[in-house]
Structure 1
Amino acid sequence: MLETLLALVVAHLLADFLFQSARMVANKRKPLWFAAHIAIVAGLTLALSGSLDPRVWLVIGVTHAAMDYIKIRWLGDGLRPFFIDQVFHLGVIAVVAVWRPDTVANGWIGDLDTEVQLFLYQGLAVIGGAVLSVRAGGVVVAKALETIAAPTVSRPDLQIRAETETLGLPGGGETIGALERALILLFLLIGQPEGIGLMLAAKSVLRFSDRNARAHTEYVIIGTMLSFGWALVSGVLTQAAVVHWG
């Protein structure tokens, strides 16, 4: 059953966070874009489960479409709707894994040698962990920070200074966060958690000065802690999966 659960969860992560582009998300209300996303969900489920049993990919595809429609139509796009959506999808996957526990064993993966199967399961665990940590983590952190008002500057002289100091590469913060989460996952997988401490220490060089700079620093640190925390949990889960199939 665990092999089936792994394959279905990784298929979901790939479909929702790697193969669903920003353009697809923006146009999801349009039938063709919506259908394309659901086709990707069903296709990846079919490919990674390795089974031609239509009950698996049809159930996941139909329920995914229903929940996505409800989210688009009524729930919105905040942090809470995001978690409701993901919990529902993962709940359906868990039910399917219990209902059809031998899906992967009866598919193309089950025809391979045991050592090759274990290697594939470890590979799926690492791929799923990377997507969960880097891509899904980026979405969670961004939505969480949307609930926190970004610091504002009231004094004109400080406004000019803040605008000068905060100029940076477009999307630089998101890229830095993604790299941080990727490195945390890597450090955990290679058994070098000390590297995480060094990264966190490097972040601590942010200093508090005046009130407005302090507000901005606190905003950045909140995002950093959210990112680090998500990456640590994702990394521990990934490490446990790799050890299980090791």
Structure 2
Amino acid sequence: MLIDAHCHLDFPDFDADREAVFERARAEDVRRFVVPGTTRARWDNVLALGERDDVEVCLGLHPYFMDQHRESDLEALDQALGAHPEVVAVGECGIDARLADTLDDQWLFFDAQLRLAKRYQLPVVIHCVQANDRVAKRLRQLDLPAGGLIHAFSGSPEQARQFLDLGFTLGLGGALTHKRAKRLHRAVVSLPDEGYVLETDSPDMPLAGLQGQRNEPANVAEVCKHVARLREQTIDQVAAHSTASAKRLFQR
């Protein structure tokens, strides 16, 4: 069995054929799905998906959508976490250093969500782009009790080790299917068996050869094959390791 540890199945991209997307995933033995929140306006959609037996949900405020966030959303997030014990993590939150004009606000919202994760003793799902070292430093300072997921990790073996030492798990997805991702390939090879989960980031983060197409959870099976080749393990071994890590991380 496979788990897609990060997929945005609440997005409008799936409104026309969402159930068919689930069916295609099941055909590839992808049996469980973790859906993170991105904006307050989408939390209700995320929570509605969480009513399914095969979906776990997270709530958070994504750094890419800073223009949609208000400081009052942080209070609303606090209230939502208290009201919905079925939520398995805080996120998706984090830092995207490509968006330099909102970086100060990103850190404000990220810090606030990290503190909520600590208060509720929940793992945190982190979007971290061009900011691995700075994010690792902040996580070291806060010492979060439940760790979390570094979603779509694309750093070096040394950066991977930083996060692992802090009790975090690394999300591996479409980026590693590209031949040019040599540094990431080295990082994937360096990971302990319990150090990663597989994900798609559907509808984004397309696999090699599928650029321009909508990504979907069925493709986590292809990610699994690539990881198995890189680590010189069987597909069944990688599937078992990633599934065990996802269950441990999200306590499900």
Query: Fold-level match, TM-score > 0.5?
Result: no
Q: TM-score scaled to structure 1, two decimals?
A: 0.29
Q: TM-score scaled to structure 2, two decimals?
A: 0.29
Which protein is bigger by CA-based radius of gyration? 1
Q: Which structure is higher in helix share?
A: 1
Q: Which structure is higher in strand share?
A: 2
Q: Which protein, 1 or 2, shows the higher relative CO under an 8 Å CA cutoff with sep ≥ 6?
A: 1
